[in-house]
C-alpha cells in the first residue's frame, strides 16, 4: 500500500515544476519586450558641428541637448564664441550646431527687403547696342633744341588737334538704370595731331631787344605758329586758310625770300624790310607777327587780304 501512495505523488511534483518554468519564461519574455521598447525609443543621430574656424565635423550621438553633444565630443566654447542653437537648447531639426565669433546666427532670418523691392529685383533686363563718337585728346610734346642755353623761349611748331573715334558698347539697363557696360569695338575716324613745342635759344641785340635765330624752320612750324596768332585775333579757320594761300603766293613761307625788284623780304614780303633791323630779318616768327598786324590794320582779316591779292596781285 505505501508503494502505491508514493507513485501517486510523483505527477504533482512534475506539474509544479512545469508551472515554475512557465512563469519564468513569461517573465523573461516580458523583460525582453520592455528592453526592446526602450531600445527603440533611443535614436542615434548624425549631427554636423561647424566650428568658428570653419572646420566641419560629423558625429553620431544619442543626446538631444546641445551642451551634452559638445561635451561628449570634447568641444569647448571659448569666450566670444556663440553657439547656435543655444547651448541650453535641444538640437534643432536641421541637426546642425554652429559655433561662431560674434552675434548669434538666426536660423530663420527675417527679410530685410519688402515684397515690392523683391519683385522689382526681378524686373527684366534690357540690353542695347549703342555707338557713340568720342574725342581722342591730343598730347603736348616738348622738344628742347636750345643746346642747354640759359636763355630760351617756347615756340609752337605744330598745333594740337583732337581726334575722333566711334566706340560701340553693349549696355544693360534695369528699371531704366545702366547696370553694365561692355565695349564691343572701336574705330578711329580722325587721327589726333599732337601739339609740338620747341624750346629755342634766345639772343639779345645791342639795343636789348630779344630775338630768336629762327630762320631755318619748316613751313609747317611757321604755319602752326600763325594759326595760334589767328585764333588769338578771333579769326576763323577760313581766315587761316586764306593766310596760308596768301603767303604761299608771296614767299612760300620762306623767311629768307626776297623780291629783287621791290626789295620785299620774308614770309609776309615786307616792302620796308631793307629799312628794318635784324629783329625782323633774323626771326621768322617776328616776320609772322609783323604780317599779322599789317593784315589786321589794313584788311581786318586774312580773307579780305587774300581777296584783294587775287584781284590786284598784291596786298
Tell me the pLDDT tens digit for each residue of 295-314: 999 999 999 999 999 999 88
Q: Tell whether 182 and 130 lie within a shared domain.
A: yes
Domain range holding 89?
45-101
| Range 112-130 burial, b when 16+ CB lie within 10 A, else e | eeeeeeeeeeeeeeeeeee
pLDDT at 277 (0 to 100) = 67
Q: What is the CATH number of the domain that holds 64?
A: 3.10.20
Between 11 and 231, the more confident residue is 231
Q: Tell whether 139 and 216 lie within a shared domain.
A: no
* Calpha distance 130→107 (Å, rounded): 47
pLDDT at 134 (0 to 100) = 94
Kindly report the pTM of this predicted structure.
Answer: 0.37
Tell me the pLDDT tens digit for each residue of 112-147: 666 666 666 666 788 999 999 999 999 998 888 777
Q: Please check whether residue 4 lies inside any domain of the structure.
A: no
pLDDT at 219 (0 to 100) = 85
Q: Please check whether residue 185 lies inside any domain of the structure.
A: yes
pLDDT at 174 (0 to 100) = 82
Residue 85 preceded by cis peptide, ω within 30: yes
pLDDT at 205 (0 to 100) = 43
Q: Tell whether 233 and 302 lie within a shared domain.
A: yes
Q: Tell whether 210 and 294 lie within a shared domain.
A: yes
Give kind and range of the element (H or E) at residue 97.
strand 96-101
Q: Please check whether residue 243 lies inside any domain of the structure.
A: yes
Q: Which residues, other chains included, contact 96 with Cβ-Cβ below 8 Å and sequence gap of 6+?
A: 47, 48, 49, 50
Q: Please check whether residue 31 lies inside any domain of the structure.
A: no
Q: Please check whether residue 25 lies inside any domain of the structure.
A: no
Q: What is the CATH number of the domain that holds 153?
A: 2.20.230
Tell me the pLDDT tens digit for each residue of 230-271: 999 999 999 999 999 999 999 999 998 888 887 888 899 988
Is residue 40 over pLDDT 90? no
pLDDT at 208 (0 to 100) = 41
Is residue 92 over pLDDT 90? no
Q: Tell whether 217 and 177 lie within a shared domain.
A: no
Q: Please check whether residue 5 lies inside any domain of the structure.
A: no
Q: Please check whether residue 59 lies inside any domain of the structure.
A: yes
Q: Tell whether 56 and 90 lie within a shared domain.
A: yes
Q: Tell whether 284 and 229 lie within a shared domain.
A: yes
pLDDT at 129 (0 to 100) = 93
Is residue 109 over pLDDT 80? no
Q: Tell whether 223 and 285 lie within a shared domain.
A: yes
Q: Tell whether 238 and 299 lie within a shared domain.
A: yes
C-beta of residue 47 within 8 angstroms of C-beta of residue 59: yes
Lowest mean pLDDT among 67-81, 126-140, 205-219: 205-219
Q: Tell me the longest C-alpha to C-alpha distance in the chain.
A: 191
- Interval 187-211 mean pLDDT: 69
pLDDT at 202 (0 to 100) = 65
Is residue 216 over pLDDT 80? no
- As a whole number of Å, the CA-based R_g of the chain is 53
Q: Tell whether 184 and 247 lie within a shared domain.
A: no
Q: Please check whether residue 305 lies inside any domain of the structure.
A: yes
pLDDT at 206 (0 to 100) = 41
Quote the percentage of the chain above a pLDDT of 90. 36
Q: How many domains does the chain have?
A: 3
Which of 84, 101, 118 terminates a domain? The answer is 101
Q: Tell whether 210 and 274 lie within a shared domain.
A: yes
Amino acid at each position: 500500500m505505501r508503494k502505491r501512495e508514493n507513485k501517486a505523488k510523483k505527477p504533482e511534483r512534475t506539474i509544479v515544476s512545469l508551472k515554475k518554468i512557465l512563469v519564468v519564461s513569461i517573465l523573461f519574455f516580458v523583460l525582453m519586450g520592455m528592453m526592446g521598447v526602450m531600445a527603440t525609443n533611443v535614436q542615434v543621430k548624425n549631427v554636423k558641428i561647424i566650428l568658428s574656424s570653419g572646420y566641419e565635423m560629423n558625429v553620431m550621438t544619442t543626446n538631444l541637448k546641445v551642451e551634452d553633444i559638445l561635451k561628449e565630443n570634447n568641444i569647448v566654447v571659448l569666450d566670444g564664441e556663440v553657439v547656435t542653437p543655444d547651448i541650453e537648447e535641444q538640437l534643432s531639426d536641421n541637426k546642425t550646431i554652429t559655433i561662431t565669433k560674434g552675434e548669434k546666427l538666426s536660423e530663420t532670418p527675417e527679410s530685410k527687403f519688402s515684397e515690392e523691392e523683391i519683385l522689382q529685383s526681378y524686373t527684366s533686363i534690357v540690353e542695347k547696342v549703342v555707338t557713340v563718337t568720342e574725342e581722342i585728346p591730343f598730347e603736348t610734346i616738348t622738344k628742347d633744341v636750345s643746346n642747354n642755353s640759359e636763355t630760351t623761349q617756347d615756340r609752337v611748331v605744330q598745333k594740337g588737334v583732337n581726334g575722333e573715334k566711334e566706340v560701340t558698347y553693349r549696355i544693360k539697363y534695369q528699371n531704366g538704370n545702366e547696370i553694365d557696360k561692355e565695349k564691343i569695338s572701336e574705330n578711329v575716324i580722325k587721327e589726333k595731331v599732337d601739339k609740338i613745342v620747341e624750346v629755342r635759344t634766345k639772343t639779345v641785340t645791342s639795343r636789348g631787344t630779344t630775338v630768336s635765330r629762327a630762320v631755318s624752320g619748316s613751313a609747317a612750324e611757321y604755319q602752326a605758329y600763325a594759326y595760334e596768332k589767328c585764333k588769338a585775333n578771333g579769326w576763323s579757320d577760313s581766315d587761316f586758310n586764306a593766310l596760308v594761300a596768301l603767303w604761299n603766293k608771296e614767299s612760300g613761307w620762306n623767311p629768307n625770300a626776297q623780291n629783287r625788284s621791290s626789295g620785299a623780304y620774308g614770309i609776309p614780303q615786307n616792302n620796308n624790310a631793307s629799312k628794318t633791323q635784324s629783329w625782323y630779318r633774323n626771326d621768322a616768327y617776328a616776320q609772322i607777327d609783323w604780317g599779322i598786324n599789317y593784315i589786321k590794320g589794313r584788311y581786318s582779316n586774312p580773307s579780305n587780304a587774300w581777296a584783294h591779292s587775287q584781284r590786284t596781285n598784291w596786298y
